[in-house]
Amino acid sequence: MYKFKQGYYADVRVEDRFATNVLFQNGALHEAKETVEKKAFIRVFDGKMWYYASTSDINSIQQSLDDLYGYAQKNPDIEKHPIVAKYQINKDKIVKFDKTNVRNIPLNDKLQLILDTSKRMVSDFCSFANARYIDRHSVYSFYSSKGADITYDFQTCGVAYGMIFNCNGETLQEQLSKCETEFGKLGYSENELTEFVNRCENYIQNAKPIVAGSYPVILAPIATGVFAHESFGHKSEADFMLGDETMAREWTIGKKIGSDILTIRETGVFEGSGYVPYDDEGTKATDTYLIKNGVLSGRLHSAATAAALGEELTGNARAINCDYEPIVRMTSTFIENGESTLQDLLKDIKHGYYIHSIKHGSGMSTFTIAPSIAYEIVDGKIGDPVKIAVLTGNVFEMLGLIDGVGNDRKLLSFVTGGCGKMEQYPLNVGMGGPHIRVSKMNVQ
């Protein structure tokens, strides 16, 4: 397909991306666009340095490749380089979304879906509403000088109904959203819509301030997913260990780092926003246990980090699009089920908080979650809604403070937002888990 030169490693990644973005604000159409972009990212490695180029001119890929060869130096032993030796030579074609391709759904059907649904979401407290439809179908192709030849497709479609509720000058911005791989699954029942509106109305009328302090906290599956992703997922990305031998010793596989009931898993095999059957270096997806029963069990790799640390590839070299090079990123990250019901988790809490939905989270040495809707827990029961700005905790302490894991795991996909790492945002990822209980977190 492409003419690769001897004495260099090179690969070409092409993404043919179709995307729809529709936005209604207060019932009026603000945006309705279909975008088709075909871009390529080209890499050349001479054993000392990488050279990258991106292009939206698909006819010039060979020219871009040849230009990059001009920067690099020929290396007759390039095939023996530890990074190059790691690369898999997969030949595969996986087309999953031929029959359900969102490219074939008329734009008007997409507009009608969210217009009809948003008309059913009525509240006297709602001062502003928007309704979004977002879909994406991508066909990825990957070719390498070692002989890899991979094609697969990816699809998500989703709706997001954002409403701002106003009561006595205070506002609550909350979103009801759904991400699927088939357009036909995007509807909501009357009960689901009513429950959402009623919950928000109750919150904006009755949410009370809290007394800041350290409390037991129960996280709903969405917050559990963010916790898994932010608190430990990012720390499992092996690129932060490069050049720091101390770190590699500190993070020895087999080290006890969390409570016995904590298991965190990472894989790109599940359909949804974290579906990555082959990463952007052509590595086939694996199923990686990051923590198993509280013990450090694995980490996430690109070929460069796997070669540097002497570990196996995991299929986690990813880029947000063909403007960027692949770096170590997550796919779908989730906490595995435990044995408790939500009632079991609640019953021992005298005074704590239940986090129902969130705005965002982050994870450096301190892990943070900014709740959207949260409730007080009093004597083992969920009580009044409360206003919490941020929950914080030390990541390493928190892994050991998880003292209850539910049996109601949810795997969640998203069409809005995504994962950010340095310049690359947003990356489509999945996350989730069951309800979990943390014995103490700082609640602000």
Partner 1 sequence: MKTEKIINKTTSKCINVVASKVESLRINNDLENTVRVYDKGTIGVDGRLGNADFSEMETAAKTKLAQGIAYPETHEEAKTISIDTTKQIFGEKDFIPKMSSLLDRLAKENPEFLFSNKIMLNSTETVYENSDGAALSYKGNQFMLSLAIKYKGSANIMDEFYGCEDDCFDEDKICRDVKMQCDAFLRNLPQIDEDEVTVIGNFEPFQYAIQHFIADLYFNKSSILDGKLGQRVFNETLNVVVDRSPERQINIPFFDAEGVVNREYVNSVIKNGVLQTLVTTKKSAIQYDTANLGSASASYNGVPQAGMGGFDVTSTAENLAQLIKGKTIFLSNTSGGDMTPSGDISMPSIVSYLFEDGKLLGKLPEFTITGNLFDILGKDFIGVCEHGLYEFGRRKYFVYKAKLVNKA
Task: Please give the residues from 85 up to 144 whose contact with partner 1 meets the rule CB under 8 A.
Answer: 127-128
Reduced to 3 states (helix: H, G, I; strand: E, B; else coil), residue 400 is helix
Asked if residue 73 binds partner 1 (CB under 8 A), the reply is no
204 touches partner 1 by CB under 8 A: yes
- What does the block give as tokens for 422? 């340095």
**Interface residues for partner 1 in 211-230 (CB under 8 A)?**
212
* Count of residues near partner 1 by CB under 8 A: 73
Q: Does 6 bind partner 1 (CB under 8 A)?
A: no
Q: Closest CB to partner 1 among 34 and 344?
A: 34
136-139 CB contacts, 8 Å cutoff, 24+ apart: 136/17, 136/18, 136/19, 136/20, 136/102, 136/415, 136/428, 137/17, 137/18, 137/19, 137/97, 137/101, 137/102, 137/103, 138/15, 138/16, 138/17, 138/18, 139/15, 139/16
Taking the complex as a whole, how short is the minimal distance between the CB of residue 241 and partner 1, in angstroms?
10
Q: Which is closer to partner 1, CB of 361 or CB of 433?
A: 361
| Least Å from the CB of residue 331 to partner 1 | 18
According to CB under 8 A, which one of 7, 16, 17, 51 is a site residue for partner 1?
A: 51
Site for partner 1 in 342-371 (CB under 8 A): 359-370
- Residue 340: φ, ψ to 5°: -90, 150
CB under 8 A: which stretch of 272-280, 285-293, 309-317, 381-389 binds partner 1?
Answer: 381-389
Please tell me the distance from the alpha carbon of residue 369 to that of residue 105, in angstroms, as a whole number: 37
Range 285-324, binding partner 1 (CB under 8 A): 323-324
Q: How far apart are CA 170 and CA 140, in angstroms?
A: 46
Interface residue with partner 1 among 1, 27, 30, 420 (CB under 8 A) is 30
Beta strands 436-443; 402-405: pairing state: antiparallel
* Out of 5, 6, 71, 426, the residue judged to bind partner 1 by CB under 8 A: 71
Nearest to partner 1 of 94, 212 (CB atom): 212
Residue 209 binds to partner 1 (criterion: CB under 8 A): yes
- The correct pick among 116, 170, 339, 379 for binding partner 1 (CB under 8 A) is 170
CB of 68 to partner 1, least distance (A): 8
Q: Using the rule CB under 8 A, which residue among 17, 21, 293, 416 binds partner 1? A: 21
Query: E strands, 280-331, where?
Result: 287-292, 295-296, 317-318, 327-328
Footprint of partner 1 on 414-443 (CB under 8 A)? 422-423, 442
Residue from 16, 17, 53, 146 touching partner 1 (CB under 8 A): that is 53
Token pair for 427: 């990356």
Minimum Å distance from CB 37 to partner 1? Answer: 6
Q: Distance (Å, rounded) from C-alpha 419 to C-alpha 93?
A: 27
Amino acid at 118: S
> Which whole-number Å values give the CA distances from 209 to 201, 386, 444, in the listed order?
17, 6, 10
- Helix or strand or coil: residue 104? helix
Strands (E), 168-243: 170-180, 208-209, 213-219
Using CB under 8 A, which of the segments 184-192, 244-252, 334-342, 406-414 binds partner 1?
244-252
* DSSP code string of 233-258: IGGGBGGGGTT-HHHHHHT-TT-B-S
Q: Is residue 253 within the footprint of partner 1 (CB under 8 A)?
A: no
